[in-house]
């Protein structure tokens, strides 16, 4: 229904298609529905099968709070980070994150937030978190690059911006770098 849902599905698709040099065309006719057409460039050559070396991924033991209003994404993030040794808590409400950090500002070594959430966006959440604990390392995730730029995110205190969908290697590398830089 109109006004229902977060719209993140199309934002993630747009991000994937854009990163692969494609484009999306959408047409809609009242009472007849919509047609979404996705164009991707043709790939010439062999397809390379890439297998990630699990042992080569950076790992850690720190405590991370992950917030994403989509339960499935929060669960995937929790599994990925948990498999790297981190102590992970995932929640779906930015207000719950604020409550946890207000109660114990030092309970988490890192907070990872989705950008597009109802009630409060990721940038609003992080700005409030940094008022509580200014040195708190934060990462923001988005599926739609036009929503926030890396420069904008860094300007208000985010340590890193990750585009969705992210893979395990990218997530492991960014999380480890942010945590290591916060120790300096």
Q: DSSP characters for 76-117?
A: HHHHHHHTTT-EEEEES-HHHHHHHHHH-TTS-SEEEEES--
Q: Give the pLDDT of residue 50.
A: 58
Q: Give the pLDDT of residue 15.
A: 75
Q: Give the pLDDT of residue 94.
A: 95
**How buried is 140 (Cβ within 10 angstroms: 0-12 exposed, 13-18 middle, 19+ buried)?**
buried
19 or 12, which is more confident: 19
Q: Give the pLDDT of residue 19.
A: 79
Mean pLDDT, range 141-170, rounded to an integer: 81
Q: Are 116 and 147 in contact (CB under 8 A)?
A: yes
Q: Give the pLDDT of residue 47.
A: 72
Mean pLDDT, range 131-156, rounded to an integer: 83
Residue in the block written with tokens 């298609």: 17
Q: Give the pLDDT of residue 79.
A: 92
Mind listing the pLDDT tens digit for each residue in 77-100?
A: 899 999 999 999 999 999 999 999
Mind listing the pLDDT tens digit for each residue in 26-77?
A: 899 999 888 989 998 887 877 766 554 556 899 999 999 999 988 888 888 8
Round to whole Å and give the CA distance between 158 and 44.
39
**pLDDT higher than threshold 50 for residue 1:** no
Nearest to 164 by CA among 1, 4, 6, 2: 6
Q: Give the pLDDT of residue 136.
A: 96
Mind listing the pLDDT tens digit for each residue in 97-130?
A: 999 999 999 999 999 999 888 889 999 999 999 9
Q: Give the pLDDT of residue 51.
A: 58
Binning pLDDT at 50, 70 and 90, where does residue 184 land?
A: low
């Amino acid at each position: 229904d109109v006004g229902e849902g977060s719209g993140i599905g199309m934002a993630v698709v747009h991000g994937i298609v854009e990163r692969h040099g494609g484009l999306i065309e959408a047409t809609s006719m009242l009472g007849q529905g919509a047609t979404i057409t996705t164009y991707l460039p043709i790939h010439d050559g062999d397809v390379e099968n890439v297998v990630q070396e699990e042992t080569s991924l950076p790992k850690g033991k720190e405590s991370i709070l992950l917030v994403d209003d989509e339960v499935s994404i929060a669960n995937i993030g929790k599994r990925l980070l948990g498999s790297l040794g981190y102590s992970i808590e995932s929640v779906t409400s930015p207000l719950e994150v604020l409550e946890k950090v207000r109660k114990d500002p030092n309970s988490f070594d890192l907070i990872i937030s989705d950008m597009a959430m109802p009630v409060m966006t990721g940038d609003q959440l992080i700005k409030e978190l940094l008022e509580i604990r200014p040195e708190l390392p934060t990462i923001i995730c988005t599926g739609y690059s036009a929503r926030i730029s890396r420069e904008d995110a860094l300007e208000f205190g985010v340590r890193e911006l990750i585009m969705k969908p992210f893979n395990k290697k990218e997530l492991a590398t960014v999380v480890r770098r942010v945590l290591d830089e916060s120790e300096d």
